[in-house]
Amino acid sequence: MASVTLPISISEVNSLSDEQFEAVFANVIELWPNAAKEVKRKRPFQNVPALCEAFQTYLEDITLEDKLTILKLHPDLAGRLAARGELTAESAGEQRAAGLEGLTPEQKKIMDESNQRYKAKFDFPFIICARENKVQSIIEGLQRRYSNNKEQEITTGINEVKKICKLRILDIVKN
């Protein structure tokens, strides 16, 4: 498969082979290439918002089981994978943009404890669009959203995945 130089135009998106489309958009939803496999069938896209909308609709229309799987594929914010340098390139950049690499020891302790408590309650990691937040708002979100019920958090988590997905698409496709 020929490599694709990013960013690309919407016309280039529409002319990608199926394999190229799947490769380019494989991680717009963290570790979930199935989305690209489905969304490629919606081509041609009129514009970038239409491409983003196709992924958003995909996330709305999948089963609850798939939504839960997607939520569980996300890494903990400032967690073990980050500490070991094992995040996807996208996640690493997003966590860096939010300032999660430079946590104070106290912030790290709060994040670790809050992440564990959240995951124990909901059975998936806390998800927030890191690029739209900084450390303090992430910690506040973790603590505030803990009072939600599981159904609310599934909805909120998927809505955050949609924001992350859109920003990742905008990294790939020039408007």
Catalytic residues: 74
How far is it, in rounded angstroms, from Cα 62 to Cα 125? 19
How far is it, in rounded angstroms, from Cα 76 to Cα 80? 8
Q: Which residues, other chains included, contact 24 with Cβ-Cβ below 8 Å and sequence gap of 6+?
A: 4, 6, 8, 13, 16, 36, 172
Q: CA nearest 125: which of 99, 153, 102, 89? A: 153
